[in-house]
Structure 1
Amino acid sequence: MSAQLQTIAGIVIYHPDEANLIRLAAVLAPDVREIVIYANSAVSPQMEERLRNSAAGTLLMVMRPGSNIGLGAAYNDLLNHASGQGATFLLLLDQDSLPPPGAIPKLAARHAQLTEAGEKPAIVGPRPTDWAGEALRSPPRREGLAVAPNSSRVQFVISSGSLINCVAAGAVGPFRADFFIDAIDVEWCMRANHRGYSTWIAEDVLMAHELGRGLIRLSFGLLLTDQPPRRLYTFLRNQLVMLRMPHVPLSHKAKTLLALPLRLAVYLKHNRFSRESRTAIWHGLIDGARGRAGAPEAVFRKIANLRH
């Protein structure tokens, strides 16, 4: 069975650049059975029609949850839809990514190669690059032999551009909807590894992807993702919540704790110690230490009110 017949693509959007979204749909259309736009912000009938035209005959539908319910809940709805349609794979995408033509068949073939080699791949992702084609930082590798060409077993992959096996996803369990955004893919992949599945990067499949507002470059080649205050909150909170989880490797927990002081200092300085960033970081630390996740609208409103 071809990758086109096996795969449904789900794109989660939130106030996207329409031209980029149309280009993304056009690239995906030849290699998938269906494209699902998960609209965490409004999509007009006119925009929906332009998207359908870009899909050039491939089925395209728009799922409208009615409000921004976050990435985790969106991924779960997309997985339920793909499984209900009998798809083998779900390709997850954010609006800020652009895989090359033909990426989906390559990722599906890598799933097959890994399975034939005795592995249980839950998810295979591309090698993310910036828009200039420079490779972004690689996730930590996991020990093991190279069982398929150009394949690396890793602790996690970024969700965007990744091809998920729907049956494996049912065994791993749902994405953390209460995380809302940030570290959702990291936690899920670590849970998959803990439950006997594996996560992989296809090193020969490159995908342009934008991280946050760009990168903060530090001494000795260190890089941090530049995030607005609301993302600082969810990032810090979710990373601290993960410290309580038994399936998260000790190495990741140690890295989180050791890097925390540097991250806080860099983000505060980079944001010029603004009241917004200080409030976001403070609430992220408090809620993370308490293990309290959930939709962060109340905190966002409090941060937004600081502007007035």
Structure 2
Amino acid sequence: MIGATVILYKPDMDITQQLLDSVLEQVDVLSIVDNSPVPTELNIKSDNLHFHHFPNNIGIAAAHNIGLNDLKTAGCEFGILLDQDSCIEEDFAFRLSSLLVASKVDKRPLVAIGPRIICSFSDKTVRPRVQRELAIYDDLVCVTQIISSGMMIDLSKLDLIGFKDESLFIDGVDHEWCWRAKKNNLMVAIAEKVEMIHRLGDSRSKFAGVTYKVGSPVRLYYQFRNVLVLSRRGYVPWYWKCRNLAVLPIRFFANSLLQDNRIDRVKFMLCGLIDGLFNRKGAFSDNW
């Protein structure tokens, strides 16, 4: 069986309803975890639906873990993680599961496969500038990490790796899990011929000719803090540590001077740097 878990937070239901309708046609079990302050009104008819509402927002990692646990308990072999604003094709689940099944038959150490991401802002395929390809198997490209939305996980291997790290709350959660999988001699891959439209960040801005993602001020707290928290861990790739630590001053400058809500942004970045230095984790509200 194939299951899916969709995470909601104040969703645009015109987009999210299309996603949910498509997912229901492709999977056997659906788990929805709603982190919105008020429960999202859903138009869903399914006997295999699990719905959880957390008005205090438990974070993406904890939400993923609840959904994955639902799918494992229901007896699913594979589980897909999806964000509310992703857009998948009608054979998305079948194509990813077929690749995972073929990999298991060939005894490849793959634990998860994700699609090629098409950014909804630029309509262009997202290709990492630094991350190198580790291996190529037919239509699969093994990489260091993939994003959580669109990721299909072989649930039988979840106990070996563990669930998502809830202490990170949101940013870096997907990458950390992939690095932990590699630590356990398991790999993640991108399916070259499977694509998914996905929204990365809230908007885009440009500084010194470089286009970068712009998120809400509070996201800066987790982004700055988790760079410092993850950089302490031995299994986190050196290229990621060096790149993200090097750009922190640039990101601080850009968010301090070039964006709206500058005072809020500076406050959240400083709080993130302080908590990162002291290795504090959890939600912002737990620490401030």
TM-score for both structures, normalised by structure 2: 0.92
| Residues 1:51 and 2:44 are matched in the alignment | yes
Q: State the partner residue of 1:28.
A: 23
Aligned twin of 2:104: 115
Distance 1:197 1:228 in 2: 34
1:148 positional shift: 2.5
Shift in Å, 1:60: 2.6
Report if the CA contact (8 A) 1:117-1:147 is conserved: no
Contact 1:182–1:234 (8 Å) recurs in 2: yes
- Residues 94-127 of structure 1 show CA distances to partners (whole Å, capped at 9, x for unaligned) of 1111111111111111212333443211111111
| Residue in 1 that maps onto 2:177 | 188
SS of the equivalent of 1:256 reads helix
1:82 matched to which residue of 2?
71
CA, structure 1 residues 187+144, in 2 after alignment: closer, same or farther (shift >3 Å)? closer
- Separation in 2, partners of 1:234, 1:137: 24
Q: Among residues 162, 182, 192, which one is paired with 2:151 in the alignment?
A: 162
- In the alignment, structure 1 segments of 5+ residues that lack a partner are 1-5, 303-308
1:281 lines up with 2:269 in the alignment: yes
Partner of 2:62: 73
Q: Write the distance in 1 (CA, Å) between the matches of 2:278 and 2:3.
A: 38
- Secondary structure at the aligned position of 1:261 is classed as helix
Corresponding residue for 1:305?
none
8 Å contact 2:161–2:181 — kept in the other structure? Answer: yes
Letter paired with 1:146: I
Q: How many residue pairs end up in the alignment?
A: 286
What is the one-letter code of the residue matched to 1:138?
P
1:134-180 residue CA offsets vs partner (Å, 9 max, x unmatched) = 1124375445431222x211111110111011122221112111211
2:256–2:263: 8 Å Cα contact kept in structure 1? no
Contact 1:113-1:148 at 8 Å conserved across structures: no
Match of 2:125 in 1: 135
The DSSP-based 3-state class of the residue aligned with 2:82 is strand
1:8 maps to what in 2?
3
- Report the counterpart of residue 247 of structure 2 in structure 1: 259
> In structure 2, do the counterparts of structure 1 residues 283 and 51 end up closer, same or farther at CA, with 3 Å as the change threshold?
same
How far apart, in 2, do the equivalents of 1:104 and 1:10 lie?
12
Task: Classify 1:217/1:137 alpha carbon distance in 2 versus 1 (closer, same or farther; 3 Å).
Answer: farther
Bigger helix share: 1
1:147 partnered with 2:142: no
**Displacement after TM superposition at 1:269 (Å):** 2.4
SS of equivalent to 1:79: helix
Residue matched to 1:306: none
Structure 2: 5+ residue runs without aligned partners? Answer: none
* Matched-pair contact (CA < 8 Å) for 2:255–2:262: no
Per the normalisation by structure 1, the TM-score is 0.86
- The match for 1:223 among 211, 222, 240 is 211
**In 2: Cα distance, 1:143 partner to 1:137 partner:** 11
Query: Tell me, what secondary structure is at the counterpart of 1:99?
Result: coil
In 2, are the aligned partners of 1:141 and 1:152 still within 8 Å (CA)?
no
Which of 256, 265, 278 is the aligned partner of 1:290? 278
CA gap 1:144/1:272 in 2 versus in 1, 3 angstroms: closer
For residue 37 of structure 1, what is the aligned residue in structure 2?
32
Query: Does the 8 A contact of 2:141 with 2:190 survive in 1?
Result: yes
Amino acid aligned to 2:69: N
The answer on whether the counterparts of 1:240 and 1:289 sit within 8 Å (CA) in structure 2 is yes
CA distance in 2, matches of 1:206, 1:143: 18
Is the contact between residue 50 and residue 70 of structure 2 (CA under 8 Å) also seen in structure 1?
Answer: no
Cα distance per residue 1:231-277 (max 9 Å; x no partner): 01111111110011111012211112222222222222222582111
Tell me how far apart the structure 2 counterparts of residues 66 and 274 of structure 1 sit (CA, whole Å): 27
Given that 1:139 and 1:155 are in contact with CA atoms closer than 8 Å, whether structure 2 keeps it comes out as no
Question: For 1:143 and 1:203, how far apart are their aligned partners in 2?
Answer: 12
Aligned mates of 1:206, 1:262 — CA distance in 2 = 32
Report the CA distance between 1:196 and its aligned residue.
0.5
Superposition RMSD in Å = 2.0
